[in-house]
Amino acid sequence: MKIEDGQCHGDFTLNHLPFYSGFYEIRAYTKYMLNFGDELIFSRLLPVFDKPKKEGGFEEKKMLRYGSYGPVGNFAMKRERPEKGKSINLRFFPEGGNMVQGIPSRIAFEATDENGNPIEITGFVVDDNTKQELCRITTLHEGRGVFAFTPGNRQKAVAEVSSSGRNYRFDLPAALPQGMVMEVDNLSFPDSIGITLRKKSQTPAGMLGLAVLTGGMLRSYAYISFMDDRDEIDFQIDKAQYPSGVSQIVLFDGYGKVLCDRLIFTGSSDDRLDIKAKTTNRFTTLTNRSRWNFRSQTGKQIR
């Protein structure tokens, strides 16, 4: 694809052989980039599913199953044979990176089947020693959800969940005895991002640094001082200073050690594309009575 003014675009259809359903890798690079190794080459692995039997039934998400991972026709399968996972896989993502004993945290999770497809689950987090139920967990969308949890000292927490009438157990990540927890609120304030930092009373107070990066570039930074009598700090940062896109919030100590980090989407209401569509008479009534709201691939809102 030809690059003009630093950009290029294109597309191709998957309506002819050898485009079977499966996993495909897309790479993007220039010849000059090949001088510096594979680390600089953009790579994205994408699933391509079979055409649904019923038009518009994209929730099927089925792929062609091969008897073996050898050649298919005249086209070799480059993807290595994957290791078959458990019938249900449950992964936990503590906000900021880690849980700390005695500190409230938000824990995101993702439930998938053995092929990586999202599934719905319900259940509880329980203390493995006392069998006491600590909090409830349930998926919200596409196998994902979030729950609030405060790990105890020397406590082993497990998730007991059920799916399709069967029960499963999974260990939660071990909580650190000392450390920091960062909570980011990107929804409550229209023009700012709320940040809450929490620490244990036994964790020494000191000077911390907070940096916000977008596109790998430093956009803002601040110094944060924890007083000896405080274990929690709340503050806000202005959204207007960050361009539309994914920003990274990083908290580090005086030695440069990263304590917490978090990805958020930043964008302004001014970054909207105003697109008008003209339809045939057949759809005039529907268009006049409906409002359409989409987001482009760049995250900009399209009305």
Report the distance separating Cα 100 and Cα 116, nearest Å. 29
**Range 180-266: architecture per CATH:** Sandwich (2.60)
The pLDDT assigned to 261 comes to 93
> Three-state SS for 288?
helix
Give span(s): CATH 2.60.40.10, the chain: 88-171, 180-266
Residue whose C-alpha is closest to residue 246's, from 221, 213, 293: 213
The confidence score (pLDDT) of residue 299 equals 44
pLDDT of res. 76: 59
Provide the β-strand partners of residue 258. 252
**Which residues of the chain have a pLDDT value below 70?**
16-19, 65-86, 228, 268-273, 280-303
Residue-wise pLDDT for 244-279, tens only, equals 888 999 999 888 889 999 999 887 656 666 777 777
- Residue 94 DSSP SS3: strand
DSSP category for residue 52:
P
Instruction: Say which CATH topology domain 88-171 has.
Output: Immunoglobulin-like (2.60.40)
Output the CA–CA distances (angstroms, integers) from residue 177 to 56, 127, 151, 259, 298, in the order listed.
Answer: 50, 17, 10, 14, 40
HSE, side-chain direction, 13 A CA sphere, residue 277? 15
Summarised one tens digit per residue, pLDDT across range 181-201 is 999 998 888 889 999 999 887
Tell me the three state secondary structure of residue 281: helix
Instruction: Identify the pLDDT of residue 227.
Output: 74
Instruction: Please give the Cα distance from 294 to 303 (Å, whole number).
Output: 6
Amino acid at 94: P
